[in-house]
Amino acid sequence: MTKTKGTIGILTGGGDVPGLNPAIRAVTVRALREGYRVVGIRRGWAGLVDLIPDREADNSNNVLELSEELVNRAGRTGGTFLHTSRTRPSHLPASNLPSHLRDVCRDDISDLTPQVLKNLEFLGIDTLIPIGGDDTLSYGLRLHQEGVRVIAIPKTMDNDVPGTDYCIGFSTCVTRTIELTHRLRTSAGSHEHFLVLEVFGRYAGYSALLPTMAGAADRCVIPEHPFDIEQLAELLSQDRKKNPSNYSVVLVSEGATMSHHEEMLFEGDEADQFGHKKLGGIGDQVARQLKELSPRYNAGRRVNVVNQRLGYLVRCGDPDAMDSIVPMAFGNLALDLILQGTSGRLVSLRNGCYDNVPIDVVTGRKKVVDVNKYYNTRRLRPIYESFLRQPLFIMTSDI
């Protein structure tokens, strides 16, 4: 048996985004050529929870030996071939316990970190590379604090992981939002309607603000600023009158709230293991109220609404150019750090340059839009000024 430099584990957690497979490919190809063994952990942190530390056990649903052939084939595609979950090992409900642990964990909520550490040792993993948003990476920080060598890679459609200007998946999200908004214009214009599109963004409004800045919409509402629905109705009515095709467009972040009801809207009461309920419904509410208010600003005539939640349409399919290049660079950055003997870092893109920061930045602060700098609250639009020396995506730096 050929001796290796060590074993690297890779996992993807949280929501899928285009660019995950290119990141896994970049890590794996470089690591194998540097003399490491690479193991994929399946279904995010769930793979490390469900794994049975027994050589005779079948753990094929939890771990996967990675090869160049496997990752080269998958690296051209979207999603994550390692699969993903929103499992949080430090707060695991009894209903999610694997069968082999049900006799030893009898609490309603269990911290399975000791079991995860045991399983990492069983797999012989020297360095773990979690790829995810702040929820997934917050548990990566926990393992780092427990002594595990961790190098984190940021990904999220919302682009809201602190410490980096860019997260894998954001460019494709913006690209698809612009493309789908322009396609839906044909229906809105044909019927002379308002077009209301709900987009991702629980706490940060980047995925609504940036497409609007690029000309996809007339107005946008974001989580960082509770909006007045009558103000929005008046502005969209003005936009509609100025448009030769007699329609107007607004992008609505899923986490946006109205000034008279400053609570997010959820699909139900069920929360995931990180305490997040599934958002959904603000676009529907905006559409209903715009329709009701429209006669006030349109000579007594009601304006109907084309209402669409873009949702998974912007996170499915293949990555765009940015989400093919950045994951490649992030994966190689992670390997550079491993070769240097460094751990406890988050690879990042800051001020146009690839870099890395301490992993504890992921829980140190929230990364949200600077409303005073980038959002015109009077016009419910981005601020179009001071572009000199701004990062590529304008308002996404938190430095």
Among candidate residues 64, 55, 58, 56, the one with its CA nearest the CA of residue 28 = 64
Task: Please state, in angstroms and rounded to a whole number, the distance separating the CA atoms of residues 76 and 69.
Answer: 12
Q: Is 158 among the catalytic positions?
A: yes
Rg of the chain over Cα atoms, rounded to whole angstroms, equals 23
HEC assignment per residue over 141-152: HHHHHCCCEEEE
Helices (H), the chain: 20-33, 45-50, 68-74, 113-123, 134-145, 170-191, 206-213, 229-242, 282-293, 322-339, 371-374
What is the rounded CA–CA span in Å between residue 186 and residue 1?
62
What gap in Å lies between CA 280 and CA 254, rounded to an integer?
6
Catalytic residue among 16, 158, 160, 323: 158
Instruction: Provide, for the chain, the percentages of residues in helix, strand and coil under a 3-state DSSP scheme, each rounded to the nearest 5.
Output: 40, 20, 40
Report in angstroms the alpha-carbon separations of 266 from 135, 139, 173: 19, 25, 22
Taking the CA atoms of 138, 142, 148 and 149 in sequence, report the sign of the dihedral they define. Answer: positive
Between helix 322-339 and helix 20-33 the angle, nearest 10°, is 40
Could you give the residue numbers annotated as active site?
Answer: 158
